[in-house]
A and B are shown apart, each in its own frame.
Chain A
Amino acid sequence: DTAVSQTPKYLVTQMGNDKSIKCEQNLGHDTMYWYKQDSKKFLKIMFSYNNKELIINETVPNRFSPKSPDKAHLNLHINSLELGDSAVYFCASSHMDASTGYTFGSGTRLTVV
């Protein structure tokens, strides 16, 4: 009965590889997000989708490409991974008016070696 689930939980990969992180929510929310937490614990939004439409696209390298097949899923694909991409990536979801708050997944720890 997990509300926001991400897979995989851990991802170790070599520089230059392409990888994907998947996210699914069963809360009936219509908006989903990707956040990046760096080594200093700072959290920054990357993307947001509302009903499969991209509504927020922060300054993120175009090697990062989100995809939302439906409003319950938001995946993140990363091309040509670099050492600096190592971080924890969190998926989150909310209702459009955000009045009930934002629910976060447990995170995906990406390590690029």
Chain B
Amino acid sequence: AQSVTQLGSHVSVSEGALVLLRCNYSSSVPPYLFWYVQYPNQGLQLLLKYTSAATLVKGINGFEAEFKKSETSFHLTKPSAHMSDAAEYFCAVSESGTASKLTFGTGTRLQVTL
């Protein structure tokens, strides 16, 4: 069985500060890992994905994440937060090689302050 743990349901950063959203996963097979962003009253937009290629993955809007197998982590970072980054962020895992279900973490709400 696969699972995802997102530490911190709410993270607040100042504009221009580093964004770090934590995600740890559990999977019995090599995982595919994803970060999605959800703006208020909108759908889920894919930020980036890890599908067993490079461990450092760059996504849209300046976000990146690093797959660390030894730590079973896939933390999301952005060097400098922007007000427009305020949203709900979801980490998700699926089993590689098959369209198995995507299992989501509980989400982290990112607040960006002036």
Q: Interface with B: A12-20, A59-67, A102-110, which one?
A: A102-110
- Distance (Å) between the CB of A32 and the closest chain B CB? 9
Q: Which of A42, A94, A107 contacts B99 (CB 8 A)?
A: A94
Within 8 A of B (CB), among A1-45: 30-31, 33, 35, 40-45
B43:A101 contact, CB within 8 angstroms: no
Interface membership of B44, Cβ < 8 A:
yes
Smallest CB gap from B51: residue in A: A99
Q: Which residues of chain B (22-53) have a CB below 8 Å from chain A?
A: 32, 34, 36, 38, 42-46, 49, 51
Given contacts A98-B97, A104-B45, 13 further A-B contacts (CB under 8 A): A30-B99, A33-B101, A41-B88, A42-B104, A55-B99, A92-B44, A94-B99, A97-B99, A101-B49, A102-B102, A105-B43, A106-B42, A106-B43
B90 within 8 A of A: yes
- 28 residue pairs of the A-B complex, CB under 8 angstroms, read A30-B99, A31-B99, A33-B101, A35-B102, A40-B106, A41-B38, A41-B106, A43-B44, A44-B104, A45-B102, A48-B99, A58-B101, A90-B44, A94-B99, A97-B97, A97-B98, A97-B99, A98-B32, A98-B100, A99-B32, A99-B51, A101-B34, A101-B46, A102-B102, A104-B45, A105-B43, A106-B43, A107-B43
A96 and B99 in contact, given A41-B107, A90-B43 (Cβ under 8 angstroms): yes
Complex Cα distance, B44 from A33, in Å, reads 14
Cα(A44)–Cα(B103), bound, Å: 7
- A/B pair count, beta carbons within 8 Å: 69
Among A40, A94, A99, A103, chain B packs the most CB atoms within 10 A around the CB of: A99
B106 touching A42 by the CB < 8 A rule?
Answer: yes
Is B94 part of the binding interface, using a Cβ–Cβ cutoff of 8 Å? Answer: yes
Q: Residues of A at under 8 Å CB distance from B?
A: 30-31, 33, 35, 40-45, 48, 50, 55-56, 58, 90, 92, 94-99, 101-107
Quick check: A104 and B43 within 8 Å, CB to CB? yes
B99 touches A50 (CB 8 A): yes
Closest-CB distance, A109 to chain B (whole angstroms): 8
